[in-house]
Amino acid sequence: MQRLNPGTSVRLRSYAILAVTTVMMLVTGCTSVREPYSQADADKAQIVGFENVRVPLDANISAFIENKIQRRAGKARYKFLAISGGGAGGAFSVGVLKAWTERGDRPTFDIVTGVSTGALIAPFAFLGSKYDDVLEHLYTSGVAAELIDKKFIVRGLLGESLYYQKPLKNMVERYVDRALLNEISTEYRKGRDLFVLTTNLDTQRAVLWDMGAIASSPRSDALDLFRTVMIASASIPGAFPAVQINAVVDGRQIIEMHSDGGPSAQIITVPEALLSDVSLPIPKGVAGSDMYLLINNALMPEFSATTNSTLSVSTRAYSILVKSQTRQSLYAAYEYCRRVGIGFHMASIDVSVPYDINDPFNNTYMRAVYKVGREKILSGQAWQDRPIFPELTSK
């Protein structure tokens, strides 16, 4: 496969190729067998001991929001940080956060959300600058390359995914320990919140996980669930195996299949119910708040002559779909913020950085976008107050 043109955005092309490979796996691959269950079962499914730690993102979650507001009694305004998907492009967010700390005006965020690579960053961003060096190591030292193996083609065609899950699992287990959960629990009890997103493949719904509530649970299996959700949220469909999560319905155990939240939403901003129904009351305390969005992708159109082949056309079409999805999410979030009086602040990779799909966690690329994030903050040019994207990039 030839090297991609400079400026090709990492996550969009990666998702495209992985989507095509996933279709091939459905035709030729080996699958594990689960006990069947119904839509009615799925609607009632609960995780034993963690009955209130998740909610479908498209549900009416007014009660969920009200509960969160009551936890923050006395807090008039919020600082909200949302970190998008983007694979190796997550180094951009890490560069932003590191430089923001150095500049001396990085807020303590009341709410932090993450999707995919953003879900891996979010717990450390939630805990503040003391974890900047950990994130810098994970995203610029080259250790991310350990997440993949080179013998992926045969596995992708005959197995569950292109890459093995064990390297990702090992990385999460190394850096997410009981001490980290205790720190998150402490902040959660102060009224701060941490959320990540998975996609329930069985129901085709995005699931919002309350990671602070999980961290604060006294149960001995809280750490296991926290890690499992993080791994699921970062398991790009087709690249890594879907993650099995045990649940119970009417005393009967079922196994749900969860993967990366990215196919459902590239970034967690405003709940769908609030976006779609303007008659819903504005949550108390949000006017005058600030929403910061870190987009680990290039969202501008990027010209590249498409080869007339199944793989090229399919990957190109899927990349357009994901890019469009992200942009529309940002437009919707902006309109909501404008309507209710929330400050909108968006930063994204708006320059061309060479990337090779054959080397998805290339350290040269990751260090380059890390530098882009740093320089944007230090130059004072990081934030856009509306979703305006760069002009067409022609290569």
Active site residues: 116, 250
Q: Residue 223, CB half-sphere, CA atoms under 13 Å: how many?
A: 13
Q: Which residues pair with 248 in a beta bridge?
A: 46, 253
Cβ neighbours, 10 Å, residue 37: 17
Ordered alpha helix ranges (H), 210-250: 211-215, 222-233
Q: Do 157 and 28 meet the contact criterion of CB atoms below 8 Å apart?
A: yes
Q: Which residues pair with 247 in a beta bridge?
A: 254
- The candidate with the shortest Cα–Cα distance to 85, out of 211, 264, 214, is 264
Task: Calculate helix-pair angle for 117-127, 178-188, nearest 10 degrees.
Answer: 70
Q: Do 163 and 148 meet the contact criterion of CB atoms below 8 Å apart?
A: yes
Please name the residue that has the structure tokens 């609030």: 274
Instruction: Give the Å distances, CA to CA, from 4 to 199, 316, 350, 353.
Output: 29, 12, 17, 11
CA 122, CA 378: separation in Å to the nearest integer?
22
- The candidate with the shortest Cα–Cα distance to 89, out of 236, 196, 301, is 236
Mapped onto helix, strand or coil, the DSSP state of residue 369 is helix
Mapped onto helix, strand or coil, the DSSP state of residue 357 is coil
